[in-house]
Amino acid sequence: MRALLQRVIQASVTVEGKIIGQIDAGLLVLVCAMPEDDYDTAKALALKISKLRLFKDEAGKMNLSLTQTGGSALVVSQFTLAADTRRGTRPGFSYAAKPDVAETLYLQFASALRDLGLPVETGKFGADMSVALTNDGPVTLWLDTDA
């Protein structure tokens, strides 16, 4: 799986003019399932994200995890993280998991974060979404379970 994490002060996702997911301080997680991914991959990525020390401690150093800060996660499916841009000017997306598999893994990933005790909001798989955020830092990380 691939994930782009953004530490946020707040974030929300809107579908058809209605906010369907919203968090205060925490992480916006844009996530993409790849063809070789499975439930174990989703669980491993959730565990990694829950433990990453991306939040400031009392000394101002990034020493605290999302779990330690009590922050939330807004999880949004984003197949474009699988873009292949090696040729031409139009990205290809054949490296993303097929939609039925991707949706299952996306939901399993969000559920795995919840199982770790994190408050989780989500977008709507396959929908045209508007994502709003106030990036904190900015702190943005790219994770790839294949790497």
- In Å, what is the CA distance from 42 to each residue of 10, 39, 62, 82? 24, 5, 25, 16
Q: What is the CATH number of the domain that holds 132?
A: 3.50.80.10
* 41 pLDDT tier (thresholds 50, 70, 90): very high
Domain that holds residue 136: 2-144
Q: 139: buried, middle or exposed (CB in 10 Å: 19+, 13-18, 0-12)?
A: middle
Please confirm, yes or no, whether 80 is among the known catalytic residues: yes
pLDDT of residue 94: 86
Q: What is the mean pLDDT of residues 26-41?
A: 97
Q: What is the mean pLDDT of residues 20-35?
A: 97
User: CA 1, 64, 109 angle in degrees (round to 5)?
Assistant: 25
Residue of 41, 79, 108, 122 marked active site: 79
Q: Does the model's pTM come out above 0.85?
A: yes
For strands 72-77 and 129-144, give the pairing.
Answer: unpaired
Residue among 70, 63, 69, 94 nearest 80 (CA): 94
Please confirm, yes or no, whether 108 is among the known catalytic residues: no
Q: What percent of the chain has pLDDT over 90?
A: 93
Q: What are phi and psi of 119, to 5 degrees?
A: -70, 130
Two tokens at 140? Answer: 């943005």
H/E element holding 18?
strand 18-23
Residue of 14, 41, 78, 122 marked active site: 78
Please confirm, yes or no, whether 67 is among the known catalytic residues: no
Number of folded domains in the chain? 1
Residue of 80, 93, 134, 140 marked active site: 80
Residues 139 and 30: their CA atoms lie apart, in Å, by 14
Q: What is the mean pLDDT of residues 88-94?
A: 89
